[in-house]
Chain A
Amino acid sequence: MLEIRNLHVSANNKPILRGITLTLKKGEVHSIMGPNGSGKSTLAQVLAGRESYEVTAGEIMYDGKNLLDMAPEDRAREGVFMAFQYPVEIRGVSNMYFLRAALNSIRKYRGEDDVDAMDFLSLVRNKMKLLQMDDALINRAVNEGFSGGEKKRNEIFQLAVLEPRLAILDETDSGLDIDALKIVAEGVNALRSPDRTFLVITHYQRLLNHIVPDFVHVLAEGRIVLSGDKSLAFELEEKGYSWLEKEPVG
């Protein structure tokens, strides 16, 4: 469902990704691990459509369509969702209004009617329960005054409401204490399905104890240097990342 071929990406003329090739099939959970500055978040942002990066070579096919040709909103409407590493605070826009606007624009793209107010409310309630979120958060402005953990939980809550086909989690575990991490991971696990693909980006293996991936890839200096199954994550936890830089593979 997602094919990344020889992707090269620069920011301010500085190369960050130097030839990524990666295939994700429907229903699979892939994890990308790697040291700081290896380009993990860049990959997530490029997939979501961030315009400040320049794709200098390569292509990304999503369900047979050229993802790089699509505006960020169209990617979202086609079922791509990125949970932000640093969710943005939007003053003056309530979570409820924002989510409904988002859901309706996705539905409109699919040729469906706007969501019924009561249906929306019950959908929101269910998903909030899944993430054990405080009811009050839904009427507050998007992420405004949320704690770090509440923001991350809010990202997964949005994921749950919008039901994307490709979910990219960009360091969703960072800044979470162990209890919050478990809740978020349980939320994600509940959303795993044969129709939904996950790309889980993390610096630490600890998240992968709870969201067990099918595949693990290691990114270093803008390249995938190692791929394997979940056991690779344990190996990395033990050895750290420094050995990769000494003996580059791939």
Chain B
Amino acid sequence: MIQAVRKEKDQYLANFAEFERQGTGPVPDWLQQLRKASILRVAEYGFPTTRDEDWKYTNLAPLSRTAFGLAGPTRLYDQLSDHWLLGLPGPRLVFVNGFLSSDLSRRDGLPDSVQVQSLSEALTHAPDLVGRHVGKYADPDEHAFTALNTAFMKEGSLVVVPPGTVLETPIHLIYLSTGSEHPFAVHPRNLLLIGANSEVRIVEGYAGQAGVAYFCNPVTELVAGDASNVDHYTIQAEGDKGFHIGTLRTCQERSSSLRLASFDVGGSLVRHNLTVTLDGEGANALLHGLYLGASDQLIDNHTRIEHVKAHCDSRELYKGILTDSSRAVFHGRIVVSKGAQKTDSKQTNNNLLLSNDCLVNTKPQLEIYADDVKCTHGATIGRLEEESLFYLRSRGIDKQAAANLLTYAFASEIVSQVRIGDLRNQLDRFLFAWLGHVPE
């Protein structure tokens, strides 16, 4: 174990040296310093182990064991070119193995005032804007994988929506990982800045080619300005040999409204670190999640909702469906600061187990430092109800179809939250296929 940890550190330090050598074009000072400080953080602490309370159920040994090198640009994405994420209409930035693909990206249909740039473009054209925000919300000192991402920060997406903008079309940020001889790591960095009174829907999608070993370690920082209305969807559809450790850090200003939904429909070892900060009075956040686990997948969702200011509401509902020998972890923490009076927070986690060998660890955690708040949480782990199965069968529906229908119904509560029709339909279709069903 110790050896593995040392090896993994050495690997990333070697990668970093290589990364610095490769560096093309001028890099702003602040970024150079930030990268260096971050790699030192990685060198000092390494990856967390299961002795760390937050990683108790997620053993990173398979990730540490693999020597992930730097990714190089590739055009070999044929096998992913018909991926359903690329079938979603609307403007998009598409990255292949961490590099912007101008062939696959399209930016038409956006008003001129809205900036959708790759991070490398932004570092050239608006380095100060990036510097003012990046790393201010997702602190590299806080998490090893944020530090790792920050050390290798080079590419990703910048979305800037000026105040008072209502965007009809959703923006898609899509990261593909594909054919490479050696295992590789990518560290996409996204900065999403939504101005006051604006309305926008953003989709972050991650997909990878089956059989390819890679590690995708994205970090997204999202700021929702006063009275803005933001939908953010994370679609994790990595390949079956893909590792995904994703960090999403949101900061909400006064009276903003944020709807987050996360869909885990792929990956081998998956971890989400989601932190939502309600930092302005009257803000509200709605969090939904659906994770589907099969074979020996491990899907871990760690969410943290920080109620900093008074009169904020949060609602969280995560649902999981597990089969084969898959495992899932849900850890939902709600922290209510002293000043966050009149907080109204509700967290729910429901799990459906379809096999005997699957396993879920669910842990709600409330930390409340204010005295006039309403906070509830609940978690369930169960199987399909015999009563319901019998009811459907007694009307002529066969056993497998009845089980699929009930499982679909369980998941559809989350899918129906998606406020982009095309995405909702694709997820629906995926769900049917996952259940071994053919849609009508």
What residues of chain A have their CB less than 8 Å away from a CB belonging to chain B?
Answer: 48-52, 71-73, 75-77, 81-82, 84, 87-88, 90-93, 98-99, 101-103, 105-106, 109, 141, 158, 162
Contact = CB atoms under 8 A, between A and B. Distances in A.
B65 interface: no
B388 A90 contact: yes
Contacts of B391: 84, 87-88, 90
Given A50-B390, A88-B388, A73 B399 contact: yes
Contact of B397 (A48, A105, A158): A105
A180 to B, nearest CB: 21
Contact of B413 (A73, A92, A158): A92
B412 A73 contact: no
B409 A91 contact: yes
Given A91-B409, A92-B410, A101-B405, A76 B386 contact: no
A72 B386 CA distance: 13
A162 B413 contact: no
B406 interface: yes
Nearest to A76: B396
Contact of A71 (B393, B401, B409, B413): B393
B397 A90 contact: no
Given A90-B391, A162-B396, 11 more contacts: A49-B390, A49-B394, A72-B393, A76-B395, A90-B392, A90-B406, A91-B413, A101-B397, A101-B405, A102-B397, A105-B401
Contacts of B399: 71, 73
Interface string B142-166: 0000000000000000000000000
A73 B387 contact: no
A82 B392 CA distance: 12
A168 B387 CA distance: 18
Interface residues of B, number: 23
Contacts of B386: 52
Contacts of A51: 390
A158 to B, nearest CB: 7
B395 A162 contact: yes
A40 to B, nearest CB: 17
Nearest to A75: B394
A105 B398 contact: yes
Contacts of B405: 93, 98, 101
B395 A102 contact: yes
B415 to A, nearest CB: 10
Given A52-B386, A88-B388, A90-B388, A76 B409 contact: no
Contacts of A105: 396-398, 401
Nearest to B407: A92
A239 B395 CA distance: 38
25 contacts: A48-B394, A49-B390, A71-B398, A72-B390, A73-B396, A76-B394, A76-B395, A76-B396, A88-B388, A90-B388, A90-B392, A91-B410, A92-B408, A92-B409, A93-B406, A98-B392, A99-B395, A102-B395, A102-B396, A103-B396, A105-B397, A109-B396, A141-B409, A162-B395, A162-B396
B395 A49 contact: no
Contacts of A102: 392, 395-397
A76 B401 contact: no
A73 B393 contact: yes
Contacts of A75: 394
A150 to B, nearest CB: 16
A141 B410 CA distance: 12
Interface in B355-404: 385-388, 390-399, 401-402
B434 to A, nearest CB: 16
A162 B392 CA distance: 13
Nearest to A158: B395
Contacts of A91: 409-410, 413
A92 B409 CA distance: 4
B387 A88 contact: yes
Contacts of A87: 391
Instruction: List the 6 closest pairs (A to B, CB-CB), nearest first.
Output: A92-B409, A76-B396, A102-B395, A88-B391, A72-B393, A105-B396
Contacts of B395: 76, 81, 98-99, 102, 158, 162
Interface string B200-223: 000000000000000000000000
Nearest to B413: A92
Contacts of A71: 393, 398-399
A18 B401 CA distance: 35
B324 to A, nearest CB: 23
A81 B409 CA distance: 24
A49 B408 CA distance: 24
Contacts of A72: 390, 393-394
Contact of B398 (A73, A84, A103, A141): A73
A36 to B, nearest CB: 21
A76 B383 CA distance: 24
A144 B2 CA distance: 54
B319 to A, nearest CB: 11
B24 to A, nearest CB: 51
B396 A77 contact: yes
A172 to B, nearest CB: 15
B207 to A, nearest CB: 27
Nearest to A92: B409
A146 B154 CA distance: 56
Contacts of B406: 90, 93
